[in-house]
Amino acid sequence: MVAAETLGATTVICSDKTGTITEGEMKVAEIYTEGDGEEKELTLKIAMLASDARVENPQDNFTDWRLTGDPTEKALIVAALEAGLSGDYLKKEKMLLDEIPFESVNKFMAHLYDGKIGLAGAKAAMKENLIFMKGAPEKILASSERFLKDGHEKKLDPEESRRLRGVYEDFSKRGLRLLAVGYKLAEGRRTKFLEIAEPLSGLTLVGFIGLKDPIRQNVKESLELVRKAGVKVIMITGDNKLTAKTIAEELGFSVALSNILEGEELERMSDEELKRRVQDILIYARVSPSDKLRIVTALKNKGEIVAMTGDGVNDAPAIKRADIGVAVGSASEVTKEVSDMIILDNNFKTIVTAIEEGRGIFDNIKKVVLYLLSDSFSEVFLIVASLLAGFPLPILPAQILWINLVEDSLPSFALAFEPKEKEAMNEPPRKADAPLFDAEMKSVVFAVSVISVIMLLALFYWAMQIYDDISYVRTLVFAGLGINTLFYVFALKSLRKSVFHMDFFSNKYLLAAVGIGLVMLALPLYVPFLQNVLRVQPLGVAEWGIISGIGVVSVLAIEVIKWTFRKMRVETILKS
């Protein structure tokens, strides 16, 4: 509940794209090579073999294989299997000699294989061992000296390099995640990368693979809702900036290239420079987990309340640093341990729902506190005013306890179950240092207390002139104070709406609580035993009408204050 309440005050959400904004179900959408036959087969073969994904049950038919690993890696294996390369996968474990695992800083992975695993077609087996490399297109292209075209290796000159860069940039502009694959003949029969001089340079580029991760349903609507709520959404992705920009525009982001920051540029920035620019950035592309920590820190230093999503072990520091760390259901145990909240369905919409829920929780806390304080201050002011005026006590301690403990307890509990208001998501987040007991609450408490005291003291004075029995006069004040609280609790159901525009039946618990409260107020007036305990007497219909009028006046006073602050909120929103 504490996490949800804090999430309601969130001003910035830093969200991973894959698996949260998108479905996390990668599929190979397109393969680009400089040839139609062997090159595409080799592209998939390298992508499959230079992979960390694993098959849990390789002994079964390949159509029944269960894959584990990163969604991108699994998508590549599925595409390779569909192309009929299952036999090559079965050779993988036996022929793999060494590997350089993927790291977000390096943006590639490389695997060293026995040359018997071969390339494709006529090069089905090689005398030299083979290095297969897969990674970001710009990384593979920069490491390549040749490219494969129609089965032959061609020199990769600057002109061809620019042309191929234009190819993958066109793919990126269509919102595809791009990977490039290449190979290199190892020197002799070396079996370790450490034995090879410059193992990651002098590659032969084979092709590009474009993967598509569908955007989750309702995410665009959720983003629009959260923007209306004054919450800034920052998308963090491992894609390049062109892919990220295309996807962001599909989601309704109004984004220019100046609003996108890539990991390499971020690494060159000092913390002070990042702090100056951080509020202009909507998308972080090609970032590493350590970059996420710097992003969260910079945002917090600008006074933002930050929610951060993540799943990997390396995301844990950023999630812990954020005001609200949100782990997805597939996150590592370390990440879940340091997070404040876990969303089991990995869906961005769930985060938005949690924000709405958090604002509803905070609203209901305010309503309960407001109700209890209005009641308590009315009683205190009533006693103090009567003493200053030289009157006898208008209400006895036992009567006050009855109102507070018996009559008002259930309505205060019921206010906690008030349904959240949709209008809460049309307002900006509350400030981090905003007090619970704000100016509006103070005004309501003061108004209710003063008006109640004036009317109850006037009733007390008037009744003292007419009735000789002080016990009967105190009964009028006791009933008046009780009716007053049961009336104005309806005005406190919402500080955004007038009591005349509310749905009175939206909170059935409150209706039941008020009904029970009325019974508990009337009970001591008409049950002889309780009459003696509380020193009260039965009231007639006329007296009930008088004290009901006190409740109506209190409700009207609250409505005037609500209208004033509602008008001020609208003006503030329009200005912002």
Q: Annotated catalytic, 16?
A: yes
- Which one from 16, 114, 315, 363 is the annotated catalytic residue? 16
| DSSP output for 61-119 | -GGG--EES-HHHHHHHHHHHHTT-HHHHHHHHHHEEEEEEEETTTTEEEEEE-GGG--
Tell me the two tokens of residue 529.
Answer: 């035993």
**Could you tell me if 317 and 289 are in contact, meaning their C-beta atoms sit under 8 angstroms apart?**
yes
Buried b (16+ CB within 10 A) or exposed e, 148-163: beeeeeeebeeebeee
Tokens 């969604």 sit on residue:
71
69, 346, 383, 387, 437 from 369: Cα distances, Å:
50, 35, 21, 27, 8
Helices 470-491 & 348-389 angle (0-180, nearest 10): 160
**Could you tell me if 259 and 241 are in contact, meaning their C-beta atoms sit under 8 angstroms apart?**
no
232, 278, 292 from 258: Cα distances, Å:
17, 11, 19
**Could you tell me if 555 and 487 are in contact, meaning their C-beta atoms sit under 8 angstroms apart?**
yes
Chain-centre distance of CA 360, in angstroms?
15
- The amino acid present at 560, given as its one-letter code, is V
286 burial via Cβ count (<10 Å: 0-12, 13-18, 19+): buried
Q: What do you get for the CA distance between the two ends of the chain, in Å?
A: 30
**CA–CA dist 364, 7 (Å, integer):** 15
Tell me the three state secondary structure of residue 391.
coil
Tokens 């008409």 sit on residue:
526
Helices (H), 196-326: 219-228, 241-250, 263-268, 271-277, 289-301, 316-321
Residues 6+ apart with CB under 8 A from 218: 349
**CA–CA dist 111, 392 (Å, integer):** 93
Q: Known catalytic residues?
A: 16
